[in-house]
Amino acid sequence: FCVVGEKHLIPEQFTTMYESVVASGSARIVEDEDERRQALRLIVEKYASRHVEEGLKAIERSLHRTAVIAIKVHTLTGKSKQY
């Protein structure tokens, strides 16, 4: 998979500033309910840290219909172009 971070066009120089990471590995569907709940909790804590209580309630409401995929990364490469 690939993740692209900050990017910024520089039209007057006909180029782009960017940063990206490409990873490969093996993926598995997480079947264990407690493991899925913990993974979703970590996501809430990272991206909605001011709303953890509401996030935990949302997890409980949606856990039965939410898939979680664990990825074991085997290789990871990154690059960037900065000015």
Per-residue pLDDT of the chain (83 residues; tens, 9 = 90+): 888 888 899 999 899 999 999 999 999 999 999 999 999 999 999 999 999 999 999 999 999 999 999 999 999 999 998 87
Query: Measured in whole angstroms, how far is the alpha carbon of residue 5 from the centre of its chain?
Result: 11
Q: Which amino acid is at 39?
A: A
pLDDT given at position 66: 97
Buried-exposed string 14-52: b where 16+ CB fall within 10 A, e elsewhere: eeeeeeeeeeeeeeeebeeeeebbebbeeebeeeeeeee
Closest of 44, 42, 39 to residue 28, by C-alpha: 39
Q: How far is the C-alpha of 59 from the C-alpha of 38, rounded, in Å? A: 10
